[in-house]
Amino acid sequence: MHIAVTGAAGFLGRALLPKLAAQHQVIATDLIAHPGDPPIEICNVLDPVATNALCATVDAVVHLAAVTWRDDLSPRENETLIFDTRLKGTHNILQAAQQTGVKRVIQISDLCVFSGYENDIMVSEDFIPRPATEAHPLSVYMSELIGREYARLSPGLVLTLRLGQLVDPQTLDASARFTDGWLAIDDAVDAILHGLEQERLNSLERKRFSGMGEWGIYNLAADVPDNRYSLLKIQSDNYGFFPREDFAAWREV
């Protein structure tokens, strides 16, 4: 397949690109590139002309584009950029994908949408998100709603993966203490690759999300005892993905 990746210069994008390029033809896009990165094309997801041109050339999109807080901007400027990138950027990508016939957009979301629940409550995809009202978690939740709407308009187009806190076990300090929601970067990459293999949601998935359109949404964190995040759905036959890293060494510190 021809696959575009937005936000490819980020932590997850840089981990994803080598595995993705081994199986597919990839267009890696971002606003910047770090020294030593694979070739990255400039594509601003806030520019609908650019997103239309990008989607017109590919079969699928992995949408990672997001921004983090910058010390050189004011709080208002930071919040505007965070909301614009998540909301306008997601809308532009999904609208372009719908119009150009892209088969699948994998939208990367975040388990921070459940931060309003008590830590001793196990949450699943059936729970109504309760994000904090800061720019990052709120923009994440609102971008999911854009994904849900485009899934209603174009059944099977959108697959949303809510990821936990990305951690690289290869560089993690041995004295670090595990916290709920950790997810190994390699497991996040493999879950995305797995999602690209599923061109359309099957009939059981459509039934399960009756009334919400063909929108696949899954929680993903490390599979550990007393997990705060239910993995029953992502491990079911509908998706069939099992994270491998359980951070046992760090849970026993």
pLDDT in the model for residue 32: 83
* Residue 196: count of CB within 10 angstroms of its CB: 20
Percentage of the chain with pLDDT > 70? 93
Between 130 and 253, whose confidence is greater? 130
The enclosing domain of 202 has a CATH number of 3.40.50.720
Tokens of 176: 């670090």
List strands edge to edge, sheet with 25-30. 41-42, 25-30, 2-6, 60-63, 104-110, 158-163, 216-220
Give the tens place of pLDDT for each residue, 105-140: 999 999 999 999 999 999 999 999 999 999 999 999
Residues spanned by the domain of 211: 2-251
Q: What's the domain count of the chain?
A: 1
